[in-house]
Amino acid sequence: MFKKRIWKPLLISLAWIISFGGLIVLMGFIESKKGEVVCKDVKIYIPGNQYFIDREEVDKILQVNSRALIGRRMESININGLEKKLKANPFIEFAKVYTDMDGVINVEISQRQPILRLMNRFDQDFYVDQHGLKIPLSANFTARVLVANGYIDELFANQVDSLHTAIAAELFKTADYIRKDSLWDAQIAQIYVNKAHEIELIPRVGNNRILLGNADSLENKFHNLLVFYKKALPQVGWDAYKVINVKYANQVVGVRNENIKTDSLKAKGALSDTSKLIRDTTINTN
């Protein structure tokens, strides 16, 4: 009985030693085979509908066409170095490079997604992506995004960078709100910053400007604007006002094209009832 108790743990230990040794031998065999594998191909995956960077550009970064990779032993290729090269490109948000046992280098790339194009008052032109980071323009592709110009002081050093001015941050917030709403994304064509550093929106329909002011209470401001569109403009036409001011919390102020300012939509005649309805609806939203 005593001998059985001694042999059992010894046999278990021996089995573990043999298994561990076999694993080491197997790993050594795999490593030796891996060292003999030669790069046969480079497969590149670039999902999405933006084309700031294409296969040809990635090939150039990785020097695929110059035979810097294909034909070389996989063990001599610095995979981390390839990832760093890709991540240095301002249009690439994420890059992953990995290999398989068949001699294929796989490259997965995620591009930055611009939501706004800024033209500052110093004649610099650049994009702002979905994370609020500045990125340069591309020679390969022009993104169909909102354009903001005017008295914008945000500078660009031709590299990925965060926003540094308050007005640029407000423009980003406004553009992000607009793009997420299908109605306003279709209606707003451009953003302008006036001398007072207030935000103005240029619609696709009508010859007016929408004075937004700042990026505070965007949901409330666009709600008031929508009510104004539905109740007032159908009766007077899209070009009746040259400015629609929605920057105040409880009212919409229209400036008529004849330079006659209405007092919080209290126009005369046929507009009086509609103006009162719009004002009451706007006030009730708060």
Read off the pLDDT of residues 261-273 as tens digits, 9 standing for 90 and up.
444 444 333 344 4
Q: Are residues 176 and 246 in the same domain?
A: yes
Is 64 in contact with 75 (CB distance < 8 Å)? no
Picking from 76, 111, 146, the residue at the C-terminal end of a domain is 111
Q: What is the pLDDT of residue 286?
A: 44
Q: Are residues 69 and 80 in the same domain?
A: yes
Residue 9 lies in a domain: no
Q: What gap in Å lies between CA 140 and CA 52, rounded to an integer?
A: 6
Q: Are residues 235 and 158 in the same domain?
A: yes
CATH of the domain at 197: 3.40.50.11690
Q: Are residues 134 and 95 in the same domain?
A: no
pLDDT band at 279 (very low <50, low <70, confident <90, very high): very low
Picking from 59, 76, 111, the residue at the C-terminal end of a domain is 111
Q: Are residues 181 and 46 in the same domain?
A: no
Instruction: Using the predicted structure, report yes or no on whether residue 203 has a pLDDT greater than 60.
Output: yes
Is 24 in contact with 12 (CB distance < 8 Å)? no
Residue 256 lies in a domain: yes
* Mean pLDDT taken over the chain: 81
Q: What is the pLDDT of residue 59?
A: 87
Q: Are residues 121 and 101 in the same domain?
A: no
The two tokens of residue 129 are: 């992506």
256 vs 277, more confident: 256
Q: Are residues 88 and 215 in the same domain?
A: no
Instruction: Using the predicted structure, report yes or no on whether residue 104 has a pLDDT greater than 80.
Output: yes
Q: Are residues 173 and 66 in the same domain?
A: no
Q: Which of 58-72, 143-157, 272-286 has the lowest mean pLDDT?
A: 272-286
Q: What is the pLDDT of residue 149?
A: 97
Q: Work out how many domains the chain is built from and give that number.
A: 2
Q: Which of 11-20, 81-90, 110-119, 213-222 has the lowest mean pLDDT?
A: 11-20
Q: What is the pLDDT of residue 216?
A: 95
Residue 52 lies in a domain: yes
Percent of the chain at pLDDT > 70 equals 76
Is 132 in contact with 100 (CB distance < 8 Å)? no
Q: Are residues 122 and 212 in the same domain?
A: yes
Read off the pLDDT of residues 164-188 as tens digits, 9 standing for 90 and up.
999 999 999 999 999 999 999 999 9
Read off the pLDDT of residues 204-255 as tens digits, 9 standing for 90 and up.
988 889 999 999 999 999 999 998 888 877 777 777 788 999 998 778 888 8
Q: Are residues 245 and 272 in the same domain?
A: yes
Q: What is the pLDDT of residue 21?
A: 58
Q: Are residues 87 and 183 in the same domain?
A: no
Read off the pLDDT of residues 235-249 as tens digits, 9 standing for 90 and up.
777 777 889 999 987
Mean pLDDT of 21-41: 63
pLDDT band at 74 (very low <50, low <70, confident <90, very high): confident
pLDDT band at 70 (very low <50, low <70, confident <90, very high): confident
Q: Are residues 190 and 213 in the same domain?
A: yes
CATH of the domain at 73: 3.10.20.310
Residue 159 lies in a domain: yes
Q: Identify the top-confidence range among 120-129, 139-148, 256-265.
A: 120-129
Residue 4 lies in a domain: no
Range of the domain at 257: 114-284
Residue 18 lies in a domain: no
E strand or H helix at 271:
helix 271-284
Picking from 91, 111, 131, the residue at the C-terminal end of a domain is 111
Residue 279 lies in a domain: yes
Residue 69 lies in a domain: yes
